[in-house]
């Protein structure tokens, strides 16, 4: 059956009119969800190594026309993502004149759309009540808020993972085989956003295809789906063959020679189980683990008791497949020197919240259940509300280094350099910049100086010299609590290079004007 926009609009209008309180509450949740994801963006944005690296790539695209076939590097040595993330945020760098603030706001908007999808799927899978519960948890969970404010490639996976789940539900429940095209596209794009999470979508879809074999697509849709998926991989394939099979060789080394996956995961089972608990518990109750355990057990028990009803429209098996596959995959993953990180589970953050909320929705059907759910949300907002409030109102003294501090230091450099007396024939006075940051490579400052210098003075960069040493030197460094000895070595080296004439601080960033010795 073809999509009819007019009928869909009428149906949506009727739905809202019949349930005005629900949709007023949903609108309020979405408004506040967007607010907590974009408020004080410059003052809270952590613009570090990865952000600077990505911004430099996009700068070369916008200003030098250097197109690219690969995206950010993954946690696996030599394995790169596709370029989708770069092209996704590049227009917002262009519109903002190079500022990273607008790209972050855009990603916050996509994260808010994911909150809407939580409601939509909660309503489809179970009830409007479960949808509201899921949207509320997703909107105001402290760590989900942080995930939605992150200027990084996994952020948009919050939305694409739920769109993928929706596509699978449409096939399983309505038998609309055209959704296989959407599945192919969403898996391909998700693999370009965060491979450590999305790579498990592939075995999950294989299991889903076997399960739903009666709803497999015909030749035409299968051909289109395969073509769409191939197109998402085409940039990396082209890069691979242009660079002597580098990506294929790295895949072979990581997954075959280094045996990154093994079914013998007994040694890491306890550690990984603790990891999964930490990931899922923190997204709902970040601090009170005893209360988290109680509510998780209650939700799980209700889901178990209601399993037959929740399986009638395939809600429960679908969610368990979606969440369980990455869990089994990460249990078996033993590459990357055994290192695993929270964001590896980005693709299942929100599906897990949806499953948990369906349990709350079942509890809500009884008077005692309403009391339990009410208590849950009291604890939820006490914990997450406090953390979100403290985050949004953080001061220079209570927050890490942010873009606001970095730009303050950079502005000081350009303004101070402009005041310096110019020797004959050298105006503005030329200067160098030397930077220390904890990750060693100062990509963030490379980009910020380039952006601000171009914004102020064009290609001249206001006298900043990149390839030659000149007498006027500005040194800029960030605090490094984990390794103060590294900063001390760097500062000792600077003493032999130039004499400090003036110094100031912007939060955790110190900037100095020096004259070379």
pLDDT at position 263: 60
Distance CA(107)–CA(38), nearest Å, equals: 9
pLDDT at position 1: 42
Q: Is residue 2 in a domain? A: no
Q: Is the domain of 353 the same as that of 454?
A: no
Which of 344, 363, 392 marks a domain boundary?
Answer: 392
Question: Is residue 283 within 8 Å of residue 141, measured between CB atoms?
Answer: yes
Q: Is residue 318 in a domain? A: yes
Please state whether beta strands 498-506 and 509-516 pair in parallel, antiparallel, or not at all (unpaired).
Answer: antiparallel
Q: Is the domain of 297 the same as that of 441?
A: no
Closest CA to 269 of 345, 334, 202, 195: 334
Q: Is the domain of 436 the same as that of 316?
A: no
- Show the tokens assigned to 456: 């102020």
Q: Is the domain of 377 the same as that of 417?
A: no
Distance CA(411)–CA(110), nearest Å, equals: 31
Distance CA(54)–CA(92), nearest Å, equals: 13
Q: Is 97 left (phi over 0), alpha (psi -120 to 50) or beta?
A: left
Q: Helix crossing, 269-282 with 289-305: angle to 10°?
A: 90
Burial of 473 (0-12, 13-18, 19+ CB in 10 A): buried
Which of 392, 413, 430 marks a domain boundary?
Answer: 392
Q: Is residue 9 in a domain? A: no
Question: Is residue 191 within 8 Å of residue 156, measured between CB atoms?
Answer: no
Closest CA to 93 of 120, 114, 62: 62
Q: Is residue 432 in a domain? A: yes
Distance CA(445)–CA(394), nearest Å, equals: 23
Q: What is the distance in angstroms between the CA of the first residue and the CA of the last residue of the chain?
A: 78
pLDDT at position 5: 65
Our CA angle for 500, 480, 276, nearest 5°, is 165
Q: Is the domain of 280 the same as that of 132?
A: yes
Q: Is residue 241 in a domain? A: yes
Q: Is the domain of 223 the same as that of 297?
A: yes
Q: Is the domain of 95 the same as that of 208?
A: yes
SS3 515: strand
Structural domain boundaries, residue 464? 403-516
Q: Is the domain of 54 the same as that of 131?
A: yes
Q: Is the domain of 317 the same as that of 360?
A: yes
Spell out the alpha helix ranges (H) of 199-253. 201-211, 219-242, 246-251
Q: Is residue 25 in a domain? A: no
- Show the tokens assigned to 266: 């007994």
Structural domains counted in the chain: 2
Q: Render 403-467 in DSSP notation, one character per residue.
A: HHHHHHHHHHHHHHHHHSPPPTT--SPPEEEEEE-TTSS-HHHHHHHHHHHHHHHGGGGGGB-SS
Question: Is residue 166 within 8 Å of residue 202, measured between CB atoms?
Answer: no
Q: Is residue 15 in a domain? A: no
Which of 361, 392, 423 marks a domain boundary?
Answer: 392
Question: Is residue 69 within 8 Å of residue 239, measured between CB atoms?
Answer: yes
Helix, strand and coil in the chain, % to nearest 5: 70, 5, 25
pTM, entire model:
0.93
Q: Is residue 409 in a domain? A: yes
Q: Is the domain of 193 the same as that of 97?
A: yes
Q: Is the domain of 507 the same as that of 440?
A: yes
Question: Is residue 169 within 8 Å of residue 124, measured between CB atoms?
Answer: yes
pLDDT (tens digit, 0 to 9) for every residue of the chain, 517 residues total?
455 667 778 888 898 899 999 999 999 999 999 999 999 999 999 999 999 999 999 999 999 999 989 888 876 666 788 999 999 999 999 999 999 999 999 999 999 999 999 999 999 999 999 999 999 999 999 999 999 999 999 999 999 999 999 999 999 998 899 999 999 999 999 999 988 778 899 999 999 999 999 999 999 999 999 999 999 999 999 988 888 788 878 777 766 666 666 666 666 788 888 999 999 999 999 977 788 889 999 999 999 999 999 998 899 999 999 999 999 888 887 666 667 888 989 999 999 999 999 999 999 999 999 999 999 999 999 999 999 999 999 999 999 999 999 999 999 999 999 988 877 666 778 999 999 999 879 999 999 999 999 999 999 999 999 888 999 999 999 999 999 999 999 999 999 999 999 999 999 999 999 999 8
Q: Is the domain of 193 the same as that of 94?
A: yes
Tell me how far CA of residue 299 lies from CA of 29, 369, 398, in angstroms.
23, 10, 36
- Show the tokens assigned to 414: 């350009």
């Amino acid at each position: 059956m073809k999509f009819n926009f007019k009928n869909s609009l009428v149906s949506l209008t009727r739905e809202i009119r019949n349930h005005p309180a629900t949709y007023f509450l949903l609108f309020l949740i979405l408004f506040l969800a967007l607010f907590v994801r974009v408020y004080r963006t410059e003052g809270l944005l952590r613009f570090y190594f990865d952000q600077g690296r990505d911004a430099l790539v996009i700068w070369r695209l916008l200003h030098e026309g250097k197109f690219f076939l690969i995206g950010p590097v993954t946690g696996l040595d030599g394995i790169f993502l596709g370029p989708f993330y770069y092209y996704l945020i590049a227009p917002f760098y262009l519109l903002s004149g190079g500022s990273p603030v607008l790209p972050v706001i855009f990603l916050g908007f996509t994260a808010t759309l994911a909150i809407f999808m939580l409601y939509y799927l909660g309503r489809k899978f179970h009830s409007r009540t479960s949808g509201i519960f899921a949207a509320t948890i997703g909107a105001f969970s402290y760590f989900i808020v942080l995930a939605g404010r992150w200027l990084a490639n996994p952020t948009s996976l919050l939305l694409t993972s739920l769109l993928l789940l929706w596509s699978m539900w449409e096939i399983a429940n309505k038998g609309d085989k055209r959704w296989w095209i959407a599945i192919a596209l969403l898996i391909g794009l998700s693999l370009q956003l965060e491979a450590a999470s999305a790579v498990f979508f592939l075995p999950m879809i294989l299991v889903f295809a076997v399960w739903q074999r009666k709803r497999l697509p015909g030749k035409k849709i299968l051909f289109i789906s395969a073509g769409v998926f191939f197109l998402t991989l085409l940039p990396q394939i082209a890069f691979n063959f242009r660079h002597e099979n580098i990506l294929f060789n790295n895949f072979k080394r990581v997954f075959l020679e280094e045996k990154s996956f093994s079914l013998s995961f007994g040694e890491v089972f306890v550690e990984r189980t603790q990891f999964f608990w930490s990931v899922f518990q923190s997204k709902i109750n970040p601090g009170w683990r005893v209360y988290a355990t109680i509510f998780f057990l209650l939700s799980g028990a209700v889901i178990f008791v209601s399993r037959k009803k929740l399986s009638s429209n395939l809600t429960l098996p679908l969610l368990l497949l979606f969440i369980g596959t990455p869990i089994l995959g990460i249990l078996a993953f033993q590459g990357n020197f055994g290192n695993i990180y929270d964001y590896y589970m980005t693709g299942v953050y929100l599906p897990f919240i949806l499953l948990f909320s369906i349990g709350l929705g079942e509890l809500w059907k009884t008077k005692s259940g309403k009391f339990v759910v009410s208590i849950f949300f009291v604890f939820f907002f006490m914990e997450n509300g406090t953390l979100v409030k403290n985050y949004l109102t953080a001061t220079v003294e209570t927050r890490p280094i942010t873009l606001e501090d970095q730009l303050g230091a950079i502005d000081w450099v350009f303004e101070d350099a402009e005041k310096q007396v110019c020797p004959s024939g050298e105006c503005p006075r030329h200067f160098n910049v030397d930077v220390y940051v904890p990750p060693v490579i100062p990509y963030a400052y490379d980009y910020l100086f380039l952006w601000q210098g171009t914004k102020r003075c064009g290609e001249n960069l206001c006298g900043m010299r990149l390839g030659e040493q000149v007498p006027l030197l500005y040194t800029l460094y960030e605090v490094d609590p984990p390794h103060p000895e590294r900063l001390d070595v760097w500062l000792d080296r600077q003493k032999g290079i130039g004499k400090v004439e003036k110094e100031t601080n912007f939060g955790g960033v110190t900037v100095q004007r020096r004259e070379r010795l």
